[in-house]
Amino acid sequence: MRPEIGPRPLQDELTPVSAEPYRFWQCRTCGYLYSEEAGDPMEGLAPGTRWRDIPDDWICPMCGTPKAEFDMVEV
């Protein structure tokens, strides 16, 4: 079981995290959409987990594509 990655505590930031709009990131290979707001609890990513807080060695849960091959998208 993966350790759950959660949103960074507010006090760690100069600007409150909640002031930033949530964004979507999409896998270039399979189209899997990661929503920062919803997270992906099945993958151990709690709601509110920012893209930047996901480890660089994370891979797409649907097809194995590396994190670097995701694009920020408007949905």
Partner 1 sequence: MIAQDIAKTIVSPKAYANGKQVDDAFAYLRREAPLEQAQPEGYDPFWVVTRHADILAVERQNDLFHNGDRSATLTTKEADRRVREMTGGSPHLVRSLVQMDNPDHFNYRRLTQGEFLPQNLKRLEARIREIAKGFVDRMADHGGRCDFARDVAFLYPLHVIMEVIGVPEADEPRMLKLTQELFGSADPELNRSGEEIKDTSASVDTIQSVVMDFMTYFNAVTDDRRKAPRNDIASVIANGKINGEPLGYLEAMSYYIIAATAGHDTTSSTTAGALWALAENPDQLARVKGDPSLMMSFIEESIRWVTPVKHFMRTATADTELAGKPIAKGDWLMLSYPSGNRDEAVFKDPFKFDVGRMPNKHVAFGYGAHVCLGQHLARMEMRILWEELFPRLQSVELDGTPKNMEAAFVCGPKSVPVRFKMN
Closest C-alpha among 47, 18, 34 to residue 75? 34
Nearer to partner 1, 20 or 31 (CB): 31
Least CB distance from residue 43 to partner 1, whole Å? 9
Q: Long-range contact list for 9-18, CB < 8 A, 24+ apart?
A: 17/48, 17/50
Tokens of 63: 């097809």
- For the window 16-55, what string marks contact with partner 1 as x by the rule CB under 8 A? ----------x--xxx-x--------x-------------
Nearer to partner 1, 10 or 73 (CB): 73
